């Protein structure tokens, strides 16, 4: 009997040792993750000259222009900041004169209600610990998943839904493009699950849809995973290897050099359009400076935000071969059904102005640095019963299209 008891004691002791070991391992893992998160936050959040609390809970840090994340890049250590582009696209200001005659409601960012950043600083949305922890891994924070660019030339239906991303876009290809412009209707689409998003943007693309794709992207997005809420936010993205190792959203890695102190990447846009109510839109222009070769971005008529240095890219160091404009959502097929995450306003294009979302005055920049109407615009959507696109042309809006939809409905199970 005594022997039996001692064996049990031995087993118990062994069990306790194993439990302690696995506890210790868990503790080491947690400590390591904490350390990694802290290191990342230190890299993202630069010392601020001033901080502004936005009504939506964001903190906007005003960081000295020469201390921004771009300058962590080894190739930018001795970079002289270009404070303005050598050239704007020709034809930009004629159009702005026309636009100023038409009364459009003006848009700002929510944080402006509580202050502005001083001279020689730029506004950066502060990354919080929870932002990083929501990502699939600390390393993937601020990055899109692989294979998310809509490839309208792919006819393989298996590839179309492979990535779980769905699109409704207009596009041009087959020429050399040096930029693109659009005025984009701003909405707040509903997102079914926090790991999904809905965005409306333009894509400037170079290379193939393989592993070497170069992309510069800008627009608005609702992304609970990235920002922790359902607000509509201004964003940019870049990659030079099809979203694998390079690039990120906004200023979440070294790349984009911001020069503007008024507009914060990733900050909430305000106000937004209402169904059957006031309509708001934002205008975005991305173009390649013919002198320096950098890709510049302008928001609205007044805000030149900054530039992506051309050395970040391979194909785009030269020219873009395709431009896309439109909407993208993630369909993670919750419970085996199509997601009810909305694109655009959440309504189909045929509902028209005030109800469906639009892109208007879509243009490209040609090799002579002229803003021009795009020729031979195609449209593309994977499942038009879920999200659709319809394009048109008229005097005021030039080339335009309505796009979007509700996702899951009786025709899109």
Report the phi/psi class of residue 135: left, alpha or beta, with left for phi > 0 and alpha for psi in -120 to 50. beta
Strands (E), 152-197: 165-177, 179-185
Select from 96, 197, 104, 73 the least CA-distant residue to 143.
197
Give 291's DSSP letter.
T
Helix (H), strand (E) at residue 34: helix 2-44
Active site residues: 217, 328
Give 268's DSSP letter.
B
Select from 330, 329, 125, 148 the least CA-distant residue to 233.
125
Q: Residue 177 contacts by C-beta under 8 Å, 6 or more apart in sequence? A: 204, 319, 320, 321, 322, 323, 364, 365, 366
Quick one: CA dihedral 279, 148, 409, 400, positive or negative? positive
SS3 of 294, please? Answer: coil
Tokens of 211: 């592993």
Q: Residue 200 contacts by C-beta under 8 Å, 6 or more apart in sequence? A: 184, 185, 187, 219, 220, 221, 326, 327, 328, 343, 344, 357, 359, 403
The distance from CA 3 to its chain's CA centroid, rounded to whole angstroms, is 68
């Amino acid at each position: 009997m005594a022997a039996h008891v001692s064996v049990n004691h031995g087993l118990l002791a062994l069990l306790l040792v194993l439990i302690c070991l696995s506890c210790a391992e868990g503790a080491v893992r947690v400590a390591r993750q904490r350390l990694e998160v802290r290191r990342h936050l230190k890299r993202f959040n630069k010392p601020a000259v001033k901080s502004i609390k936005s009504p939506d809970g964001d903190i906007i840090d005003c960081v000295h222009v020469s201390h921004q994340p771009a300058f962590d890049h080894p190739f930018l250590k001795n970079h002289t900041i270009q404070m303005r582009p050598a050239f704007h696209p020709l034809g930009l200001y004629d159009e702005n004169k026309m636009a100023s005659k038409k009364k459009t409601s003006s848009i700002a960012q929510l944080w402006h209600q509580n202050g502005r950043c001083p001279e020689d600083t730029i506004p950066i949305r502060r990354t919080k610990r929870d932002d990083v922890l929501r990502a699939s891994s600390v390393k993937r924070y601020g990055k899109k998943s692989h294979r998310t660019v809509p490839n309208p030339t792919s006819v393989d239906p298996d590839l179309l839904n492979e990535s779980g991303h769905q699109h409704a876009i207009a596009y041009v290809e087959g020429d050399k493009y040096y930029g693109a412009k659009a005025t984009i209707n701003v909405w707040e689409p509903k997102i079914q699950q926090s790991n999904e998003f809905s965005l409306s943007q333009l894509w400037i693309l170079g290379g193939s849809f393989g592993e070497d794709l170069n992309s510069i992207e800008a627009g608005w997005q609702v992304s609970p995973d990235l920002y922790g809420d359902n607000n509509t936010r201004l964003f940019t993205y870049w990659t030079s290897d099809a979203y694998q190792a390079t690039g990120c959203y906004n200023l979440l890695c070294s790349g984009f050099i911001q020069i503007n102190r008024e507009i914060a990447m990733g900050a909430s846009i305000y106000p937004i359009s209402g169904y059957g109510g006031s309509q708001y839109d934002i205008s975005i222009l991305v173009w390649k400076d013919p002198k320096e070769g950098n890709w510049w971005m302008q928001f609205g008529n007044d805000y030149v935000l900054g530039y992506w240095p051309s050395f970040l890219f391979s194909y785009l160091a030269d020219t873009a071969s395709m431009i896309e404009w439109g909407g993208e959502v993630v369909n993670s097929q919750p419970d085996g059904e199509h997601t009810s995450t909305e694109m655009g306003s959440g309504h189909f294009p045929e509902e028209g102005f005030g109800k469906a979302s639009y892109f208007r005055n879509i243009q490209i920049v040609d090799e002579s640095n002229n803003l021009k109407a795009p020729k031979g615009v195609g449209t593309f959507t994977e499942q038009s019963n879920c999200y659709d696109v319809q394009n048109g042309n008229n005097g005021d809006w030039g080339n335009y299209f309505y796009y979007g939809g509700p996702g899951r409905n009786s025709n899109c199970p």
